[in-house]
Structure 1
Amino acid sequence: MKKIVMVIMASMLVMSLLSGCGGEKSADQKAPAKKFINIATGGTAGVYYPLGGAIAEILNKNVPGANATAQSTGASVANINMLKDAKVELAMVQNDTAYYAFKGIEMFKDKQVANIRGVSTLYNETIQIIVLEDSPVKSINDLKGKKVAVGSIGSGTEANARQILEAYGLAYADLDPQYLSFGEAANGLKDGNVDAAFVTAGAPTAAIQDIAFQKKVRLIPVETDKAEALIKKYPFYAKQLVNANTYPGQGTDVTTVAVKAMLVVPESMDAETVYQITKAIYGNTDRLKAAHKLGEGITKETALEGMPIPVHPGAEKFFKEK
């Protein structure tokens, strides 16, 4: 009898051990819940797309349960609309476009999107006005009567083009506007179908590099006095210098203006998730630098410069930490 009891006890002990090793995990051992994070970027010829891919990689490695993917989109305006429609959870946009959406002005007139919140600003997005080297266009005033690619209809680039032309006393009626994406504008320049193109993106921009490797290009300047007038009316602009040799054959510095790229999320996203996203991105900026040269400008110290809308509480928590 004694032996039988001992055998039963031994069997129970083994079952208990097996249960502990191979049974269901306790509540605190469960795998973290999946967090699907779709990231809206931009066209494959721009800067948003490679940086968005790097951000997705960072989140997948550093945010528990994250399943992040970057997708190519129509950029700023499209991204805000996708965020509004809950088709994405994180979006890269221009800070001026975010401002328009939050206020319900410009392309968002009567279509206000007040439930977006900022995560951080990233780097300067330079307004670059491109012509071929042999073009007779030497200044913005020379764009009168010319075919000018001003960006896709309703895009951030298109608003920049309109505002800069306005600073020079010009309107679309004074030229022949072509509503083209970066890639289409590049092809138009190469083929001679457009005379000049506005491109708002971090410099160097892949679409412009692609032209410059085949045909020499020039950047048309935005003079300092015009830049100052523009900034006075639209405070989200900043003066910007495109350094010599940014593009092949560019022998001199060129003055222009810039807005900022930024990250936005819906106001409804929980603060802990936004905190984890922000912490992961700013704890792995080396990966952003590897993805694109402009990643060098993404730092915690400058992350709230040019922020045009309220910051999400989750991001705010991270930036308040020492």
Structure 2
Amino acid sequence: MFKNTNFKVIVLSMTLFILLFALTAQAQDLQLTIATGGTGGPYHTIATGLSEIWNSNIDGINVSVASTGASVINNRMVNENKAELAFAMSDVCYYGKEGLLMFEGQPLKNVRGFASAHTNFVQVITTKGSGIKTIADLKGKRVGVGAPGSGTELNARRILAARGMDYDDLGKADFLSYAESCEQLSNRNIDAAFLTGGLPIASITELATTQDIDIVTISEETVNKMRESFPVYVSTAIPAGTYKGVNRDVKTLGLKNYMLVNKDLDKDVVYDLVSVMFNNLDKLYGYHNAAKMITLEGALEGMTLDLHPGVEKFYKEKGLLE
């Protein structure tokens, strides 16, 4: 009886020691946060894959994923070191660097470029029978315009402005996340919604399983008007069959996404992060179809931000920089 009790005490002590050691080791890891977007969007899904790849291949770090309002908020978070890494739309990043629009007079001096990522497509979703075919048809309608502080919301305002409209011309402008927009479309509480992201956006895919959806055209004329102030915008198309029931190519606006990093994150850590990412693209591609647009060859495509020294070192080794 006495020996059995001693054995239990020893086992319990060893278990507590192992648990304490594991918790201590984890506390000593460098804690990194990557800011993303809504949980139904490509930013969050791709970042989840990246965090798992990084945590499995780099000793001494622990990367966690934060769901946020996306691009505008993400730029601010990286600038204020509330997140070390982030995804954001290229136009928002440009405005942050130059201190324009929502960053008027306050350029973000601590944000650096990590890599160009996938292309974003502005996807204005409605339901068949709504009568909404073009941006002009949104006049007087109830429209989801994206989450507050998101790149989607910025896109919505700028697209409407290119057609001589603003939120006052809508029946109602609702500030909604991806998931909220699709839920409100399903419940017929809104008539259309702006969602900007890679293809496909999971929330739209899910919506299309229960509703007959349609995608509103954004004309090349509208895109060209927007290019006058920011040439990164391109006229592109959402391919037929991307979503159930939409069997035609739909013209829309496209723009690059960037991965961002805080300028003060250690050079060697950033070098490890970018190296491991590009050495594990085959794994990353399994997380989301849009991730397949992330390539080493395109790592600096359309990049307007100053690069972090850690990624500069990597890109020089790969011959992308002199």
Q: How high is the TM-score relative to the length of structure 1? A: 0.86
1:232 aligns with 2:228: yes
- Correspondence for 1:12: none
Offset of residue 137 of structure 1: 0.9
Tell me the CA shift for residue 86 of structure 1: 2.0
Aligned-partner Cα distance in 1 for 2:104–2:245: 41
Residue of structure 2 equivalent to 1:9 = none
Structure 1 residue ranges (4+ consecutive) displaced by more than 3 angstroms after TM superposition = none
Name the SS of the counterpart of 1:64 in structure 2.
coil
> Which of 178, 183, 194 is the equivalent residue of 1:198?
194
**2:53 matched residue in structure 1:** 58
Residue from 251, 254, 258 that aligns with 1:258 = 254
- C-alpha contact 2:79 2:109 (8 A) present in aligned 1: no
Q: Give yes or no for contact 1:236–1:308 (8 Å, CA) kept in 2.
A: no
1:241 matched to 2:237: yes
CA distance in 1, matches of 2:152, 2:215: 16
CA distance in 2, matches of 1:207, 1:97: 23
Flag the structure with larger Rg. 1
Q: Which residue of structure 2 lines up, in the alignment, with residue 207 of structure 1? A: 203
Quick one: distance in 1 between partners of 2:190 and 2:105?
33
After the TM superposition, which residues 277-296 of structure 1 pair with which residues of structure 2 at under 5 Å, given as runs? 277-296=273-292
Does structure 2 conserve the Cα–Cα contact (< 8 Å) formed by 1:102 and 1:115? no
* Residue 159 (structure 1) aligns with: 154
Q: Say whether residues 1:68 and 2:96 are aligned partners.
A: no
Q: Contact 2:113/2:259 (CA < 8 Å) preserved in 1?
A: yes
Number of paired residues? 290
Higher alpha-carbon deviation: 104-113 or 300-309: 104-113
1:62 is displaced (CA, Å) by 2.3
Uncovered stretches (5+) of structure 1, i.e. residues with no partner: 1-32
Moved more, 99-108 or 293-302: 99-108
Q: Return the letter of the residue paired with 1:105.
A: L
Amino acid at match of 1:194: I
- How far off is 1:54 after superposition? 0.9
Equivalent residue for 1:216?
212
| Structure 1 residue 236, shift from structure 2 partner | 2.3
Q: Specify the code of the residue in structure 2 equivalent to 1:257.
A: L
Listed one character per residue, the Cα deviations across residues 34-57 of structure 1 (whole Å, up to 9, x for unaligned) are 322211122111111111111111
Q: Alpha-carbon deviation of 1:82?
A: 2.1
2-structure distance, mates of 1:78, 1:224: 29
Deviations for 1:62-97, whole angstroms, at most 9, x for unmatched residues?
Answer: 223221122222222222222233222111111112
Equivalent pair of 2:69/2:149 in contact (CA under 8 Å):
no
Q: 1:53 corresponds to which letter in structure 2?
A: T
Query: Structure 1 residue aligned with 2:31, among 20, 36, 39?
Result: 36
Match of 1:101 in 2: 96
Q: Which deviates more, 72-81 or 153-162?
A: 72-81
When the two chains are superposed, the root-mean-square deviation of aligned CA atoms in Å is 1.4
- Of 309-318 and 34-43, deviating more is 34-43
Q: Matched residue of 2:286: which SS?
A: helix
Read off the aligned partner of 1:67 and give its amino acid letter.
N
Pair 1:91-2:109 in alignment: no
Task: After TM superposition, give the deviation of residue 299 of structure 1 in Å.
Answer: 0.2
What SS does the corresponding residue of 2:301 show, helix, strand or coil? coil
Between 126-135 and 233-242, the greater mean CA deviation after superposition: 233-242
Q: Deviations over 1:165-216 (max 9, x none)?
A: 1111212221121111111111111111111101111121011111111001
